[in-house]
Structure 1
Amino acid sequence: MNSMIGTIGRIAVLAFALAAAVAAPAFAADVPGAKDYPGIKRFDGSSIVVYKTQKFTHYTLPLGPADDVDSDNKPVFAASKQASGALTRLSYTVPAGISSDDVFENYQNELAAKGYTVLFKADGGAIGRRQDAIFDGIGTQLFGYSPEAAHLLTAELSKDGATVSIALYVTEFEDGYTPQVEVEKGQAIVQLDVIESGTLQDKMVTVTAAEIGRGLSAQGHIALYGIYFDFAKSELKPESKPALDQVAQFLKDDPALKIHVVGHTDNVGGTETNMTLSRARAAAVVAALVKQYGVAAGRLNPAGVGPLAPVAPNDSDEDRAKNRRVELIPQ
Structure 2
Amino acid sequence: MISHRPKLGAIPACLAAAALLVFAVQQASAADRAGCRDFEGMMRFQNSSIALCDLRNFAEYTLPTGRITGFDFHTNEAEMEARQDLEGRLTQLLYTVPKGASSAEVFRNYRDYLASAGYRVLYEAKGPDFGAAQGSFFESRGPGGQIIGYSTDQSRYLAAVKDDGAAKTYIALYIVEYDDGYNPEVKVEKGQVVVRLDAVQTGELKNGMVPVSASEIAKRLDTSGQVILSGILFDFNKSQLKPDSRPALDEIAAFLKKDPVRKVYLVGHTDNVGGFDFNMQLSQARADAVVADLISTYGINPARLKGYGAGLLAPIASNATDDGRAKNRRVELIPQ
Q: Give me the TM-score of the superposition, normalised by structure 2.
A: 0.68
Tell me the residue number matched to 1:64.
Answer: 66
The residue correspondences of 1:150-161 to structure 2 (distance < 5 A) are 150-155=156-161
Tell me the residue number matched to 2:49.
Answer: 47
8 Å CA contact 1:152, 1:170 repeated in 2: no
Q: Which of 27, 32, 35 lines up with 1:33 in the alignment?
A: 35
- Tell me, yes or no, if structure 1 residue 107 matches structure 2 residue 123: no
The residue correspondences of 1:3-18 to structure 2 (distance < 5 A) are none
1:195 Cα offset (Å): 5.0
1:327 Cα offset (Å): 1.4
- Tell me, yes or no, if structure 1 residue 228 matches structure 2 residue 233: yes
The 1:127/1:330 distance shift into structure 2, 3 A limit, reads same
Q: Which of 251, 271, 278 lines up with 2:283 in the alignment?
A: 278
8 Å CA contact 2:318, 2:325 repeated in 1: yes
Tell me the residue number matched to 2:213.
Answer: 208
SS of structure 2 residue aligned to 1:141 = helix
SS of structure 2 residue aligned to 1:263 = strand
- Tell me, yes or no, if structure 1 residue 122 matches structure 2 residue 148: no
1:61 Cα offset (Å): 1.7
Which blocks of at least 5 consecutive residues in structure 2 are unaligned? 1-19
8 Å CA contact 2:93, 2:196 repeated in 1: yes
Tell me the residue number matched to 2:17.
Answer: none
Partner amino acid for 1:49? A
Q: Which of 122, 135, 138 lines up with 1:135 in the alignment?
A: 138
The 1:318/1:163 distance shift into structure 2, 3 A limit, reads farther
8 Å CA contact 1:261, 1:326 repeated in 2: yes
The 1:296/1:155 distance shift into structure 2, 3 A limit, reads farther
Between Structure 1 and Structure 2, whose CA radius of gyration is higher?
A: 1
The 1:42/1:275 distance shift into structure 2, 3 A limit, reads same
- Distance (whole Å) between structure 1 residues aligned to residue 165 and residue 232 of structure 2: 18
Tell me the residue number matched to 2:328.
Answer: 323
8 Å CA contact 2:268, 2:309 repeated in 1: yes
The residue correspondences of 1:151-190 to structure 2 (distance < 5 A) are 151-155=157-161, 166-170=171-175, 173=177, 175-176=179-180, 180-182=186-188, 189-190=194-195
Partner amino acid for 2:107? S
- Tell me, yes or no, if structure 1 residue 237 matches structure 2 residue 239: no
Partner amino acid for 1:282? A
The 1:226/1:109 distance shift into structure 2, 3 A limit, reads farther
1:232 Cα offset (Å): 4.3
- Distance (whole Å) between structure 1 residues aligned to residue 43 and residue 251 of structure 2: 38
The 1:92/1:266 distance shift into structure 2, 3 A limit, reads closer
8 Å CA contact 1:145, 1:175 repeated in 2: yes
The 1:154/1:253 distance shift into structure 2, 3 A limit, reads farther
Partner amino acid for 2:256? L
1:158 Cα offset (Å): 9.3
The 1:159/1:227 distance shift into structure 2, 3 A limit, reads farther
- Distance (whole Å) between structure 2 residues aligned to residue 210 and residue 159 of structure 1: 39
- Tell me, yes or no, if structure 1 residue 295 matches structure 2 residue 300: yes
The alignment yields a C-alpha RMSD, in angstroms, of: 4.3
The 1:122/1:272 distance shift into structure 2, 3 A limit, reads closer
1:92 Cα offset (Å): 2.0
8 Å CA contact 2:128, 2:152 repeated in 1: no
Partner amino acid for 1:129? G
The 1:79/1:149 distance shift into structure 2, 3 A limit, reads closer
The 1:147/1:294 distance shift into structure 2, 3 A limit, reads farther
Residue deviations 1:14-40 (CA, integer Å, cap 9, x gap): xxxxxxx9xx76944112332233454
1:249 Cα offset (Å): 3.4
Q: Give me the TM-score of the superposition, normalised by structure 1.
A: 0.68
- Distance (whole Å) between structure 1 residues aligned to residue 287 and residue 267 of structure 2: 6
- Distance (whole Å) between structure 2 residues aligned to residue 244 and residue 27 of structure 1: 52
1:229 Cα offset (Å): 3.1
8 Å CA contact 1:41, 1:110 repeated in 2: no
The 1:322/1:134 distance shift into structure 2, 3 A limit, reads closer
Tell me the residue number matched to 2:197.
Answer: 192
- Distance (whole Å) between structure 1 residues aligned to residue 228 and residue 220 of structure 2: 9
SS of structure 1 residue aligned to 2:138 = coil
